[in-house]
Amino acid sequence: MASGSITSVGIGSGLDLQNILDQLKEADRGVINAKVAKKTGYQKEINSYNGVNAKLFAMKSNALDLSLQSNYMQSSSSVTDDNILDAVVVVGVEESSYTIDFTQKAQRNSWESAGTASVNDIMFAEPVTGIAGPDEVVTTISETMSIYYGESGSEQQIDISLASGLSLTEIVEQINSSSNNQDGDGVQRVNASLGLNSDEEYYIRLSAVSGGNSADSEISVAGFTYVQADTMISITQDDTSMYLSVRPGASFQEVTDLINTAADNPGVTAAMIDNGDASDPYQFTLSADNTGENARITLSNLVLTEVTGAAAASLDAMLTVNGIAYRRQSNEAISDIITGVTLNLRNIGETTVNIETDMSSIKENIISLVEGFNNLVSYIKGSNDTTEEKTSDDEKEDETVNPLAESNDVNRLISKLKSLMTSIVDIDSGYTSLADLGMVVNKDGTISLDEDDLDQAIASNPDAVTSLFLGDAEKDITGMGDLINDSIKNMVSSQGVIATEIDTLKAMSARLDKDIETSTERLDKRYETMTAEFIRLDSYIRQLNSEASYMQTMFDSFNNSKE
């Protein structure tokens, strides 16, 4: 029966027995409370040791970076005029300088048509026939119509015998049904159909049954003014060709759409532009999607004027690097001229690219290493900053008092770190200690670093800074980076003093947990027994009080009767 669960203790007797029980139990709980407080102290120490560990790991990370040779191979580039170009350098490029004279940007080959009044104006004219109806007789003599089908140089000749007195409709039927107009499998090659031009004059249109758009489906016919085949245009770039079969009467806009939506477009874009002319403001333009000579456009059956790249003018970027001439297809991502450097060309002009060793990350790690030591010292002294607002006196005390401040092990660790930070590396390179880089030890045990001195040391002798931290493997000289990194590695290892202290505190805390649990169970059991005894006492006193009351009544009755 747990204390506090009996609310009737003392009701019968009129005595505050429950309060007496609670006070007795609280007095007996003092021993347990002392153990809880001790466990809290252990946890504070564990948290502080973990804080020390975290700060040591931060220092170790900086020391490790300072011990890695690859971090001293960082390179940076500077351009005297970054309006002309920018340069991106990779790791490990040696210090060097390049004079670059950029004389021509890589350009996109472009073509244009003459101006026209509307985007819907006809680009490929239909024949003018003067034929008013499809049944009008157009042949006055017997003759043979020769239609050529296929790629230039290997065409198939399709001969159609025409008698005198045939109409357009009859000629269409004769072409489509002719056995000469079939391949070896009996499949029709050329389709004839009736067309109507913008003046409502009839003509015969010849198109490929296959749909065209290939070199081997080109159609041509000559000598018959009332017959016109689809025009096969071709656009070629770098030995890759696109073929498009264009119907008679196709508009500028229609041809524009055909080119841009073609599945085998080699890399060109057609457009109808408004040049602002009062009478003929629209022009058909064709431009390469990419720059350079490899993207130069070759046309067939498109009457256009070359603009960019005309008269065989080069489309390549042209530049000289240290006097040597280069040509490139693009202005961007040129990475095959200067090893390890990518150039992005912007504007014509002359500039200089300087490649330098970038020690900025080394400087940051040196500063962070010193700051890490100072943070650790401040943390142990209990003067570390916190971003959380403390409200109670206990919390404020926790902020400023570190339970490890008087720890001999921790203070020895701080002394060892200070010795490492001030140690001298026996290397003949100009700098032998952090003091040569601007570090001084303060009276309060912290370390100061003059960043101006550090900048000057790095700028004047970066190789000496490198040697200080890397050492010399051939001479078996350990650099400052490995010296600090290896020492801290031992401090934070599972066998180090911090891990050992944490394990010890955790074991002591676990034993206290068990002791607190056992003592609490024993106390609760004891007061369950006492509560039961108090209940019996309360009942007994209530009985006595009842009997006393009865006796008092009897006495009062006797006295009253006597009177």
Give the contacts of 365 (CB within 8 A, at least 6 positions apart). 62, 65, 66, 71
User: What's the CA gap between 562 and 455, in Å, rounded?
Assistant: 118
Give the contacts of 148 (CB within 8 A, at least 6 positions apart). 155, 156, 157, 158, 219, 220, 221
H/E run at residue 521 = helix 497-562
The torsion defined by the Cα of 194, 197, 199 and 201, in degrees rounded to 10, comes to: -30
At 461, phi and psi to the nearest 5?
-155, 75
User: What's the CA gap between 197 and 247, in Å, rounded?
Assistant: 12
Q: Are 100 and 85 in contact, with CB atoms under 8 Å apart?
A: yes
Residues in the chain: 563
The pairing of beta strand 227-229 with beta strand 202-208 = parallel
Mean pLDDT of the chain: 89
404's tokens: 């490890």
User: What's the CA gap between 480 and 421, in Å, rounded?
Assistant: 8
75's tokens: 């390179």
The tokens 């000057």 sit on which residue? Answer: 456
**What's the per-residue H, E or C state across 366-397?**
HHHHHHHHHHHHHHHHCCCCCCCCCCCHHHHH
User: What's the CA gap between 424 and 21, in Å, rounded?
Assistant: 70
User: What's the CA gap between 456 and 460, in Å, rounded?
Assistant: 6
Beta bridge partners of 287: 110, 269
Q: Are 272 and 257 in contact, with CB atoms under 8 Å apart?
A: no
184's tokens: 């070896």
3-state secondary structure of 111: strand
8, amino acid identity: S
Residuewise pLDDT in 10s, the chain (563 residues): 444 444 455 555 555 667 777 777 677 777 888 888 888 888 888 898 899 999 999 999 999 999 999 898 889 999 999 999 999 999 888 889 999 999 999 999 999 999 999 999 999 999 999 999 999 999 999 999 999 999 988 999 999 999 999 999 999 999 999 999 999 999 999 999 999 999 999 999 999 999 889 999 999 999 999 999 999 999 999 999 999 999 999 999 999 999 999 999 999 999 999 999 999 999 999 999 999 999 999 999 999 999 999 999 999 999 999 999 999 999 999 999 999 999 999 999 999 999 988 899 999 999 999 999 999 999 988 754 443 444 445 444 455 578 888 888 888 999 999 999 999 999 988 899 999 999 999 998 899 999 999 999 999 999 999 999 999 999 999 999 999 999 999 999 988 888 888 888 888 888 888 888 888 888 778 777 777 776 777 667 767 777 777 777 877 777 777 76
Between CA 298 and CA 310, with CA 304 as vertex, the angle to 5 degrees is 65
Q: What are the C-alpha distances in Å from 183 to residues 149, 156, 523?
A: 11, 9, 110
User: What's the CA gap between 531 and 537, in Å, rounded?
Assistant: 10
The tokens 């007195």 sit on which residue? Answer: 165
User: What's the CA gap between 368 and 360, in Å, rounded?
Assistant: 12
pTM check: above 0.75 = no
